[in-house]
């Protein structure tokens, strides 16, 4: 297994290099001048000051030299300082990334806790009212955009009914209150998980119906094995193996959807930080945020492959 993980990590290197090059070129080839953005339009800044900063940043060097210098700094986790916050980028990332991971992991747990039972109910009640209800829910969940659902949650449940808080991670003066943090998590976690909750039952239902029709399931029942044992040992376990491959994609949706959810709920995470960096043209922050998000996404796919190989004995760690 160790060699399998090592090989998958090595295979991820070209992808990371590609992300590194694209991120560098998108910012360097932008019409906005990084030096002007760094000074923030300060009228007291002279042309000499701008030239000095340009020289210090290496912007007068050829593009390939600039990339090499920047890539070596990134390898040392030196992303520079934010134009907007005037603080080290790495420091801001350490503050924001855990908040985004908190949302994504809780959304994944909620997706599994709700999605798996719904898919099983739909499969074992094929053609009945609950099956139709689950399928309608799945279609509606995919049809509703995340940002619209988030706005409706804020406007209806947050502003009008005041059942849930609509912004930040804690109420003022309650930073150490765990229950208050959990209450603030309800909205963003549920909105972030809604697409996964809608998609997982539909796919699991299809897989379970296919497994139920297999000969070994009928044989298990014919030998007198109880229905719960048949479901747990044969149907659900084998139906979940293909579903494991979806988790990498679900995490990708969570990472991309966190930008919208964190902006709507004013959640101080990586997604909101990326949005603010794009609006303010904060290039150092934007480059670092894209690289970190891409790295987390690649790691999620590696974990998916490991989980799939672990769940299915027929897959070898090769």
List the CATH number of the domain containing 210.
1.10.3720.10
Comparing 189 with 85, the larger pLDDT belongs to 189
Report yes or no on 298 lying in a domain: no
119 part of a folded domain: yes
Tens of pLDDT, residues 4-33: 677 777 878 888 888 888 888 877 777 766
- Mean pLDDT of all residues belonging to the chain: 79
Neighbours of 256 (CB within 10 A): 13
Give pairs for 300-303: CB < 8 Å, separation 24+. 300/247, 300/248, 300/251, 300/252, 300/255, 301/248, 301/252, 302/5, 302/8, 302/9, 302/12, 303/247, 303/248
Predicted confidence at residue 183, as pLDDT, reads 86
User: What pTM did the predictor assign?
Assistant: 0.78
Q: Residue 257 above 80 pLDDT? A: no
pLDDT (tens digit, 9 = 90+) per residue, 46-86? 777 777 767 766 677 788 888 888 888 888 888 888 878 88
Helix (H, G, I), strand (E, B) or coil at 88: strand
Number of H helices, E strands in the chain: 14, 0
Does 18 reside within a domain?
Answer: no
The pLDDT of residue 161: 83
> Does the pLDDT at position 318 exceed 70?
no
Residue 38 lies in a domain: no
> Dihedral, CA atoms, 90, 92, 95, 96, nearest 10 degrees?
-110
Domain of 162, in residue numbers? 95-283
Q: Is 226 a domain residue?
A: yes
- DSSP string covering 196-216, please? HHHHHHHHHHHHHHHHHTSHH
Please state, in angstroms and rounded to a whole number, the distance separating the CA atoms of residues 33 and 83.
Answer: 12
Which of the pair, 168 or 65, is modelled with greater confidence? 65
* Whether residue 201 has pLDDT greater than 80: yes
User: 258, exposed or middle or buried, with CB in 10 Å at 0-12, 13-18, 19+?
Assistant: buried
- Report how many domains make up the chain: 1
pLDDT of residue 256: 66
Assess if residue 45 is contained within a domain.
Answer: no
CA distance 84 to 16: 26
């Amino acid at each position: 297994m160790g060699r399998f993980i090592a090989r998958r990590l090595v295979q991820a290197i070209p992808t990371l290099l590609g992300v590194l090059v694209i991120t560098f070129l998108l910012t360097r080839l932008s019409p906005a001048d990084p030096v002007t953005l760094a000074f923030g339009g300060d009228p007291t800044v002279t042309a000499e000051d701008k030239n000095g900063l340009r020289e210090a940043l290496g912007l007068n060097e050829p593009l390939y030299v600039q990339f090499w210098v920047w890539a070596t700094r990134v390898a040392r986790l030196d992303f520079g300082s934010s134009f907007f916050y005037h603080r080290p980028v790495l420091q801001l990332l350490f503050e924001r990334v855990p908040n985004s991971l908190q949302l994504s992991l809780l959304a994944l747990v909620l997706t599994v806790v709700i999605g798996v039972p719904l898919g099983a109910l739909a499969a074992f009640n094929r053609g009945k009212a609950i099956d139709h209800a689950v399928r309608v829910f799945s279609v509606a969940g995919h049809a509703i955009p995340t940002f619209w659902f988030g706005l409706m949650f804020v406007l209806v449940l947050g502003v009008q009914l005041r059942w849930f808080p609509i912004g930040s991670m804690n109420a003022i003066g309650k930073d150490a209150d765990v229950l208050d943090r959990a209450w603030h998590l309800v909205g963003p976690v549920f909105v972030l998980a809604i697409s996964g909750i809608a998609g997982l039952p539909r796919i699991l239902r299809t897989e379970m119906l296919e497994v139920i029709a297999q000969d070994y399931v009928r044989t298990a029942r014919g030998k007198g094995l109880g229905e719960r044992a048949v479901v747990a040992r044969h149907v659900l376990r084998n139906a979940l193996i293909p579903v494991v491959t979806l988790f990498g994609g679900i995490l990708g949706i969570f990472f991309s959807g966190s930008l919208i959810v964190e902006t709507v709920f004013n959640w101080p995470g990586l997604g909101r930080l990326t949005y603010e960096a794009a609006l303010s043209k904060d290039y150092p922050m934007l480059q670092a945020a894209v690289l970190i998000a891409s790295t987390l996404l690649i790691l999620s796919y590696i974990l998916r492959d490991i989980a799939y190989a672990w769940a299915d004995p027929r897959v070898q760690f090769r």
